[in-house]
Amino acid sequence: MGRIGVDLYPLKTGVPLAEADTFGKFLGGSPTNVAVAASRLGRRTAVITRTGADPFGAYLRSELRGFGVDDRWAGEVDRWPTPVTFCEIFPPDHFPLYFYRLPKAPDLDIRPEEVDRDAVRAARVFWMTGTGLSAEPSRSATLAALEARSESGPAAPEARSGSGPARATVFDLDWRPTLWEGPPQPWYGRALALATVAVGNAEECEIATGESDPHAAARALLAAGVELAVVKRGPLGVLAADRGGAVVEVPPVPVTVVNGLGAGDAFGGALVHGLLAGWDLERILRYANAAGAIVASRLACGAAMPFPAEVEEVLARAAGV
């Protein structure tokens, strides 16, 4: 549930926007990319979002269907245009984003009464993001969806070893400061109390918890209410801790970076896939790292999400097989 838009990337890397003259057009928006990533890995996915009633909105819904993502809850809003996002691409680690979401993005106009609570309750995994909490009425709609999840019984999000599929409510911290008008912490706290999994990079986890040390941040996320905390550390790999006391750290997969945007979304889709498969935590993190590395080596986001065979090939290569 959450953000969607059109990503416009220069087709040449290392070129500032002021000098770029050719762009590629792609489906974008973090939770939408996560849905695409999980679909590529064989999962049935849908996204609750809104576009403008314009050609870009039609393009995005067509792309969703093409990627196998159910678009029945991707409605139109007459009042606002479909947002676009430009990116400058300076590998390996500088990818400035320029969001054009004013006067308001349609995905922030989702209203509580529009949320299909039955569908939200029925989903084995529900994924929402911090951006969805940044403004009304999306904030109330997102919290209503989280409350519907909490009404559907106890969840079991932690990774397991062959004990059956998980059920999870995932809060992707997704801190985008330019999209907020006030402090996010009160709303992050409410969402963490209703979620069962929290995932974010080191900066996002610090925003949510006030803790800069990844281990301390993971403990703080668990204390806030989730059962599984995942801290993405970029070139330092990933750390995860669960309520049962397990702490797992996995190194990154070496890759030549083309565009780091979307790597975290590929990680998220693979995380969902691994949770649903009931894999142990280390296996999930290694698989998700590999998926993220593949997307980092490609230009696009949604269209770059890997298929299972591609992830397995990267894992085999990393293992020296």
Banded model confidence at residue 280, pLDDT cuts 50, 70, 90 = very high
Find out whether 53 and 77 touch, Cβ atoms under 8 Å.
Answer: yes
Nearest-10 Cα torsion for 148, 49, 268, 37: 130
165 pLDDT above the threshold of 60: no
pLDDT per residue as tens digits for the range 191-223: 999 999 999 999 999 999 999 999 999 999 999
Q: Give me the DSSP letters along 102-156.
A: -S--GGG---GGGS-HHHHHH-SEEEEEGGGGSSTTHHHHHHHHHHHHHHT---B
Find out whether 243 and 155 touch, Cβ atoms under 8 Å.
Answer: no
181 pLDDT above the threshold of 90: no
Give the C-alpha distances (Å, rounded to integers) separating 177 from 47, 146, 185, 233.
Answer: 23, 22, 12, 19
Min mean pLDDT across 12-16, 87-91, 118-122, 163-167 is at: 163-167
State the alpha helices, DSSP H only, in 210-256.
Answer: 214-224
78 pLDDT above the threshold of 90: yes
- Please give the backbone phi and psi of residue 83, each rounded to the nearest 5 degrees, phi first: -75, 155
**pLDDT on residue 154:** 47
Q: Token match 């606002």: residue?
A: 80
Mean pLDDT calculated for residue range 255-273? 94
Instruction: Note the pTM of the prediction, 2 decimals.
Output: 0.94
Find out whether 304 and 294 touch, Cβ atoms under 8 Å.
Answer: yes
pLDDT per residue as tens digits for the range 120-147: 999 999 999 999 999 999 999 999 999 9
Q: Identify the helix (H) or strand (E) that includes residue 8.
A: strand 5-10
Mean pLDDT calculated for residue range 107-130? 97
Query: Which residue from 32, 46, 1 is spatially nearest to 138, judged by alpha carbons?
Result: 1
Looking at the chain, the whole-number percentage of residues with pLDDT higher than 70 is 95
**pLDDT on residue 153:** 54
